[in-house]
Chain A
Amino acid sequence: MNMNQPEQTSSSLKAAAMTVVAAVVWLLLYGNLEPAADFLLGVAGISRATRFGEALHFFIYEVPKVLLLLTGVVFVMGVVHTFISAERTRAILSGRRAGAGNMLAASLGIVTPFCSCSAVPLFIGFLQAGVPLGVTFSFLISAPMVNEVALALLFGMFGWKVALLYMAMGLLVAVAAGMIIGRLGMERWLEDWVQQMQQNCSCGADETGDAMSWNSRLYNGVTHVREIVGKVWLYIVLGVGLGAGIHGYVPENFMASVMGRDAWWSVPAAVLLGVPMYSNAAGILPVVQALLGKGAALGTVMAFMMSVIALSAPEMIILRKVLKPQLIAVFAGVVALGIMLVGFVFNAVFSTL
């Protein structure tokens, strides 16, 4: 081990140096997107004054902007994830009471690494360590819905107001739904084997954290970028492309009559449509972009987006392993109701802005 020490330090230094260089390059790129887009357009001899030129400029400015934002945020979160494991979150949450516990759980859902494929072990592990059922649900609702990818994309494409409101409303849904489920005392609707595991488990919620080198932490950031950005870049290109394409080619109020603010029923309809659908935040973005561009109300579109991400048929099937149908129905019902309310709030707030 002693022999390894200098070698490890030097490789950690190398990784740190590379990160700094990458950060500088990132800042330079991000700061010069507008002139770069102007320059490219100039080289091609296309004027921004034309409709096509404007659309093209929008495209070659927005695509790298959103991609850079996403890469930066995802890298940082990949490193952050190595500090906040699901185990550590559980230790923080165990024994918390309703209310404050729900808020803490929903907030931790933003930063804790979460993959829907490990929803079941996570769920059981939380309950075993004495995290109340309602608090566990707050986490389980917030984690997939309010995450760095969704927020970075919303920020990049629609600005900070939309991103912030999405975060606030997402957290609110997670907290409220968790508190309601906790209040209803649904513990007996857990599958029997889960209840048994809960009783005869001596496992503590102790967590000392992974002793990882900075090298491994930074490496985790890189793999996170590779995994996420590699998966979603195409959706971003599509989404921005749609946004650029409809910059004036389709009548502006095409969707307004069906999904505009005046059609109150469009919010519940959007949620009902979105619940069985399954996609991640990136996959749904082109649709969001297209709907918004065509005059659909922001609240309606956000409600659609949330219900697609937060509730899905595959997720219900996974959760069916640990929950009885009654509890699944309550879970889906409460969350869907919350999202509908969010839709109405969004519509009301943004009609006055």
Chain B
Amino acid sequence: MKQVKILGTGCAKCSQLADAVKAVIASQCIDAEVEKVEDIQKIMAYNVLSTPALVVDGEVRSKGRVPGLDELKDLLTR
């Protein structure tokens, strides 16, 4: 089971990323738990400067942008 975290302080792009990630997880039948992290201090713990960021199993895989669905598929299953 993958631990997927979406870091973001609640901007429009952050919810876009969350929706896209959920869509990819559902369509690819990935076994994953998605959590949104909105607390700024927790976000800083990942050493991320630009939100939204995507964290999979503790590793930051994208930041500051909303990747396309194909790239997300790759980032989530890698």
Chain A interface residues toward B at CB < 8 A: 81-82, 85-87, 90, 113-115, 117-118, 120-122, 124-126, 128, 193, 197, 203, 210, 216, 219-220, 223, 321
Contact = CB atoms under 8 A, between A and B. Distances in A.
B39 to A, nearest CB: 11
A49 to B, nearest CB: 47
B47 A203 contact: yes
Given A117-B51, A121-B49, A321 B40 contact: yes
A158 to B, nearest CB: 30
Nearest to A116: B11
B78 to A, nearest CB: 9
B9 A115 contact: no
Nearest to A120: B40
Interface in B55-78: 62-68, 71
B49 A87 contact: yes
Nearest to B68: A219
B36 interface: no
B13 interface: yes
Contacts of B66: 223
Given A86-B64, A220-B65, A223-B66, A115 B13 contact: yes
Given A86-B49, A124-B40, 17 more contacts: A87-B63, A115-B13, A117-B9, A117-B51, A118-B50, A121-B9, A121-B43, A122-B50, A124-B44, A125-B49, A126-B49, A128-B44, A197-B41, A197-B44, A210-B63, A216-B68, A321-B40
Given A197-B41, A197-B44, A210-B62, A121 B50 contact: yes
Given A210-B62, A219-B68, A121 B11 contact: no
Nearest to B62: A210
A124 B68 CA distance: 29
B64 A216 contact: no
B48 interface: yes
Contacts of B40: 120-121, 124, 321
A345 B65 CA distance: 38
Contacts of B9: 117-118, 120-121
- 6 nearest A-B residue pairs (beta carbon): A117-B11, A86-B49, A125-B49, A86-B50, A118-B51, A203-B47
A81 B12 CA distance: 19
A113 B50 contact: yes
B43 to A, nearest CB: 6
B49 A115 contact: no
B47 A118 contact: no
B13 to A, nearest CB: 7
A121 B65 contact: no
Contacts of A86: 49-50, 64
A220 B71 CA distance: 11
